[in-house]
Amino acid sequence: MKALTFHGKETVRFESIPDPEIIAPTDVILKVTCCAICGSDLHVYHEHEKGLDHGTAMGHEFTGEIVDVGAQVRSLHVGDVVMSPFTTSCGNCFYCTIGLTARCVHSELFGWRQNNHGLHGGQAEFVRVPLADTSLLKIPEGVTQEEGLLLGDILSTGFFCARQAEIRAGNTYVVIGCGPVGLMAILGVREFGAEKIYAIDTLPERLAKAKQFGAIGINAANQNPVEVIREVTEGRGADAALEAVGSAATNRLAYDLIRPGGIISAVGVCTAGSLSFSPTEAYHKNITYRVGRCPARYMMGQLIPIVQKKKYDFTSIISHRMQLQDGVKGYNLFANKKDNCLKVVLSVG
């Protein structure tokens, strides 16, 4: 089969690799129909994460049609069209039962192989999905495949970020970063009942999309976000900052933006060696800091009814649609923010 594969820093190839096969009786094989390039893929692309096997099929956002099932798969059948979270989950362990499916004791991340162990990703013609009954969801009526693609990661992550921020009507919220996850977080804040939403970025086109989604933009290239937020909150600061970038600088900004007793909800993948504020600073400001991987499989089930209502145009964040074989170009566009690139979706077949 053909796949987009990792070969070192900023080197992705479109090449042939072996077709996946059923290994465990709970596996299925999907014929991928569409996949996407995620901001998290750029950590691999820029090689912030060391040790990924060269030749690994990239990607963890995909939908597809089941073409083969293991002997113990019960709820899925050949021909089912399904969406996938970015990690697998068993549905039965302690973490799955409390809704923290991203920390399932049997969890594996798609597109992550080290020392010949782990899973190939979904930027490929086919993909093996372990624990299929409890990892995959059939795409229901009223949900398109592109919406299913977003549900598997960035839509769920954005709404998870908003949920962690304990949204209340009348409070003031600020989203840091107007990439795909940040934009989904804006819609999450709206859905959970708040209207005073500010969004920070340095790219005018992303701030324009944030405005379309209901936020007031703050261009950090020519405005001081902390001063703006303090001015509109009688000097206090925001009730919560939703950090969707994942850097030491944006984590520090989140701390500076919130009021005493405020919340930082961080879902950006930060590779810094330590927090950018000290325990003493956190203590003196009485902050709540919530951080971690989104339990996408759990969130997908919660968010399907919202998607079916068609209240929000989630797929309007997709700026580029192309074929899988054009994925190398897609990585270049997305990584370097060329041609106003916001989200790349790749059709397969």
Averaged pLDDT, groups of 10, the chain, 349 residues long: 95 97 98 96 80 94 98 98 98 98 97 95 98 98 97 98 98 98 98 97 97 98 98 98 96 98 95 92 97 97 97 97 98 94 95
Residue 2: Cβ within 10 Å count = 18
pLDDT score for 43: 85
pLDDT recorded at residue 49: 64
Give pLDDT, residue 233: 98
Question: What pTM was computed for the model?
Answer: 0.96
Euclidean distance between CA atoms 164 and 192, whole angstroms: 11
- Residue 44: per-residue pLDDT: 86
Q: CA end-to-end span of the chain, whole Å? A: 11
- Condensed to tens digits (0 to 9), the pLDDT of residues 162-192 reads 999 999 999 999 999 999 999 999 999 999 9
The residue whose two tokens read 């054009």 is 326
Question: What whole-number distance in Å separates Cα of residue 296 and Cα of residue 118?
Answer: 19
* pLDDT single digits (tens) 97-140: 999 999 999 999 999 999 999 999 999 999 999 999 999 999 99
Rounded Cα–Cα distance for residues 108 and 88 (Å): 5
Nearest to 39 by CA among 211, 255, 183: 183
Residue 48's pLDDT is what?
Answer: 65
Judged by DSSP in three states, 66 sits in strand
* Domains, in order of start, for the chain: 2-153+295-347 (3.90.180.10), 157-291 (3.40.50.720)
Give percent of the chain with pLDDT exceeding 90. 94
User: And the tokens for 284?
Assistant: 């003196």
* Residue closest to 39 by CA, chosen among 12, 11, 59: 59
* Per-residue pLDDT at 46: 85
Alpha-carbon distance of 291 to 277, in angstroms, equals 14
- Check residue 271 and give its pLDDT: 84
